[in-house]
Amino acid sequence: MEKITAVKGMQDIYQPEVRLWQHIESLIRSEMNTFAYGEIRTPIIEKTELFVRGVGDGTDIVKKEMYTFNDKGERSVTMRPEGTASVVRAINEHNLLNSGEPVSKFYYIGPMFRYERPQKGRLRQFYQFGVECYGSESPFIDAEVIQILYNILSKLGLSDICVKLNSIGCPECRPVFRQSAEKYFSGIKEKLCGECNERISSNPLRIYDCKTPSCKENTEGAPVILQHLCPDCSGHFEKVKAALDSIGIPFVVDSRLVRGLDYYTRTAFEVTSKHLGAQDALGGGGRYDNLVSELGGPKTPAIGFAMGLERVVIAIKNQKAEPDFAGGCRAYVIPLSRNESGYAFKLLNALRKANIPSQMAVSEKKAGAHFKDAEKLGADFAVIIGEDEIKNGALTVKDLKNRSQKSVSESELTEYIKGSN
RNA sequence: GCGAAUGUAGCUCAGUGGUUAGAGUACCAGAUUGUGGAUCUGGGCGUCGCGGGUUCAAAUCCCGUCAUUCGCCCCA
């Protein structure tokens, strides 16, 4: 029989790596608890229209990367390529912004889907942790959101990270800047790569982000958006920087940073790692003050980011920042023959009742082989039950780390194991 | 969507036209009949990714295909 394999670009996550994932997720949840954000869980499939309107029909995501299909009712649905659009849909649908909270704060962790060519750190099903904050344009909120991303990555042991910060203006000042950028790039178009030539009219801001060396060089004299912000945006940006400084979050201003999704306004940021390959962004986000209203809700300022979990995993591994995880099994119960297995099973039950992670040997082999198994499981103790133990009414408990052995009565067993290191 | 590399034992890989395809490691058994990190001995390794072609002969050469990887693009 031919083996059935996973769909291209989709991965299984299992032991031992899944422990690292659990560690990351629990750290995220505890951090979000500290910042008083609530989780939101939205469906993985949404109406296609949500992403076309929310993410923007000019983006690559919508143009060529979505998993879109018709369901049995001939409705066009799409597996979510990102999280923000769904959250905005949910808060509009359930009027969550009317809950009375001064600022509505959410986070999510879950799989996203984009039909792309897979490579390291880029899969077709990938996991994102995202933060969404609605109802305030305070620069302190911008700083708070960036701080969350920075804190989590730092606490995960990622030291070589870089926070890049920019402001891309608002509907007042960006079109003006866009015009002057367009004008400038038109003037030097023969020096730009083919793609950038197409971008001149379609999306001139992306030219700043082009990685072609010649484009980087030749656009050095291009107008800088930070110098063309309107007074409101400029003041806002200054306050964001000051707020970050005040809590000691390091960042660099990168005036070339442009985000790929259409909905961003003002603050844009990205965190990169030196420990990744070409896909070096661990997370990125920004402000989207017009998205809620564009999706039919009340005019509501908002900001958020998304972090790619597999990239975080890769970075942690490459940086050898993996914490030591305790073994999954604390006690291994070994009945030395079939005669003791029934008793051992009951003893196993008692250990588990006492919340001691434990397993028992279920195959018949020599005692030596059982101890090997115990070692492989990473168990701290072996509980041996043989003829002698039954006869004496006491169990033999061996500390597998220091190889010492002790006779312990059944009633003392759980306390003995709990009381040991 | 474009370019390139790789695909052989569970894992890491060697083998580039010639018997029955190898090593390390891991695994299993024994030396050790109730005691695990060492050592020794023995054991099974496989649709050589898949399909086709060239050849007396293909893991090896050619074509196709699938998968992975690295870039481009894009992004998390």
In order of start, what are the domains of chain A with their CATH numbers?
17-173+229-318 (3.30.930.10), 331-419 (3.40.50.800)
Q: What's the Å distance between residue A337 CA and nucleotide B30 C1'?
A: 20
**Nucleotide B75, nearest residue via CA and C1':** A260
State pLDDT tens for residues A111-133.
999 999 888 889 999 999 999 99
The helix (H) or strand (E) run that includes residue A113 is strand A104-113
Distance CA A20, CA A17 (A): 5
Angle at A32 between CA A133 and CA A43, to 5 degrees: 65
Angle at A288 between CA A285 and CA A290, to 5 degrees: 165
State pLDDT tens for residues A226-277.
999 999 999 999 999 999 999 999 999 998 888 767 788 999 999 998 878 7
Percent pLDDT > 70 in chain A is 99
Q: ipTM value of the model?
A: 0.84
Query: Confidence band (pLDDT; 50, 70, 90) for A92?
Result: very high
Distance CA A129, CA A144 (A): 16
Which chain B positions have some atom within 7 A of a protein CB? 1-3, 27-30, 32-37, 47, 66-76
Nucleotide at minimal C1' distance from the A306 CA: B76
Nucleotide at minimal C1' distance from the A282 CA: B76
Q: What's the Å distance between residue A4 CA and nucleotide B8 C1'?
A: 21
Query: Confidence band (pLDDT; 50, 70, 90) for A418?
Result: very high
Q: What's the Å distance between residue A404 CA and nucleotide B29 C1'?
A: 28
Give the C-alpha distances (Å, rounded to integers) separating A225 from A21, A204, A229.
Answer: 38, 12, 6
CA A27 to chain centre: 11
Please give the pLDDT value at position A91: 95
Nucleotide at minimal C1' distance from the A112 CA: B76
**Nucleotide B50, nearest residue via CA and C1':** A2
Please give the pLDDT value at position A319: 83
**Nucleotide B69, nearest residue via CA and C1':** A119
DSSP A269-299: EEEEETTSSS--EEEEEEE-TTHHHHTTS--
**Nucleotide B33, nearest residue via CA and C1':** A366
State pLDDT tens for residues A49-82.
999 999 988 888 888 899 999 999 999 999 999 9
CA A86 to chain centre: 17
Please give the pLDDT value at position A1: 55
**Nucleotide B76, nearest residue via CA and C1':** A308
Q: What's the Å distance between residue A235 CA and nucleotide B44 C1'?
A: 73
pTM above 0.80, yes or no: yes
Nearest to A258 by CA among A181, A205, A200, A324: A205
Average pLDDT, chain A: 90
Distance CA A349, CA A253 (A): 59
DSSP letter at A125?
E
Q: What's the Å distance between residue A11 CA and nucleotide B49 C1'?
A: 18
Nucleotide at minimal C1' distance from the A311 CA: B76
Angle at A261 between CA A140 and CA A319, to 5 degrees: 70
Matching residue, tokens 């020096």? A191
CA A282 to chain centre: 8
Tokens of A302: 């908002």
**Nucleotide B1, nearest residue via CA and C1':** A117
Sheet strand arrangement including A331-335: A358-360, A331-335, A381-385, A394-399, A405-409
Nucleotide at minimal C1' distance from the A5 CA: B67
Q: Inform me whether the pLDDT recorded for A330 exceeds 70.
A: yes
SS3 A259: coil
Q: Inform me whether the pLDDT recorded for A395 exceeds 80.
A: yes
Nucleotide at minimal C1' distance from the A7 CA: B67
Matching residue, tokens 């007074």? A231
- For range A359-384, the mean pLDDT: 90
Distance CA A58, CA A319 (A): 37
Q: Which residue has the higher pLDDT, A192 or A170?
A: A170
DSSP letter at A4?
P
Specify the range with the lowest mean pLDDT, choosing from A89-93, A364-368, A387-391: A364-368
